[in-house]
Amino acid sequence: MPSLSPQQIQTVVHRALGSDTHILDYRLEPFTKQKNGILGMHYLLTVRTNRSQRTYSYFLKTPAEASVIRDMMGGTVFSEEIHFYKHIQPLLIANYNIEKWSPSCYLADINTLVLEDLRAQGFSISVDWPLNGTLVRSALSSLARFHASSILVQMRLGPSFKSLYSNAIEEKVYTNLQKFRQINLVGYETVALMAGKLGLDSSLVQKVFDRAYENMKPEEGKCNVLCHSDLWKNNLMFDKSVPPRCVLVDYQMLKYASPALDVGMLLYVNTTPEFRKEFEGEMLEHYYSTFCTTLLTSDLSDQVQIPSYDSMLKDYHEKRLIGITYAAFFLPSLYLSVEDLSMLLNNPAELEKWLFRNRFDLISAHMDVDPLYKNKMKDIVTELIEEGKRVLGDG
Q: For strands 40-49 and 55-63, give the pairing.
A: antiparallel
Q: What is the pLDDT of residue 264?
A: 97
pLDDT in the model for residue 162 = 76
Which residue type sits at 160?
Answer: S
Q: In terms of Cα–Cα distance, which of 370, 391, 247, 237 is closest to 322?
A: 391
Mean pLDDT of 340-368: 89
**pLDDT score at 248:** 98
Residue 217's pLDDT band (cuts 50, 70, 90): confident
> Are the C-beta atoms of 325 and 269 separated by less than 8 Å?
no
What is the three-class DSSP state of 236? strand
Give kind and range of the element (H or E) at residue 57. strand 55-63
Most confidently modeled range among 38-47, 74-83, 156-165, 360-369: 360-369
Residue 224: what pLDDT?
94
Looking at residue 39, its pLDDT comes to 63
Task: Report the candidate in 230, 252, 254 with the shortest Cα–Cα distance to residue 81.
Answer: 252
**Residue 259: what pLDDT?**
97
**Structural contact between residues 173 and 231, judged by C-beta atoms closer than 8 angstroms:** no
Q: Residue 71: pLDDT band by 50, 70, 90 thresholds?
A: low
What's the pLDDT band for 74 if we cut at 50, 70, 90? very low
Q: Give Dmax (Cα) for the chain.
A: 71
Q: Which residue has the higher pLDDT, 329 or 68?
A: 329
Q: What is the pLDDT of residues 249-289, one digit of tens each?
A: 999 889 999 999 999 999 999 999 999 999 999 999 999 99
- For 278, counting Cβ atoms within 10 Å of its Cβ (0-12 exposed, 13-18 middle, 19+ buried), the class is exposed
The whole-number pLDDT of residue 65 equals: 66
**pLDDT band at residue 341 using 50, 70 and 90 as cut-offs:** confident
pLDDT at 36: 53
377, exposed or middle or buried, with CB in 10 Å at 0-12, 13-18, 19+? buried
Q: Which helix (H) or strand (E) holds 29?
A: strand 23-30
Coil vs helix vs strand at 63: strand
- pLDDT tens string 198-215: 999 999 898 898 888 888
Helices first, then strands: H and E counts in the chain:
16, 10
With beta carbons less than 8 A apart as the criterion, state whether 186 and 358 touch.
Answer: yes
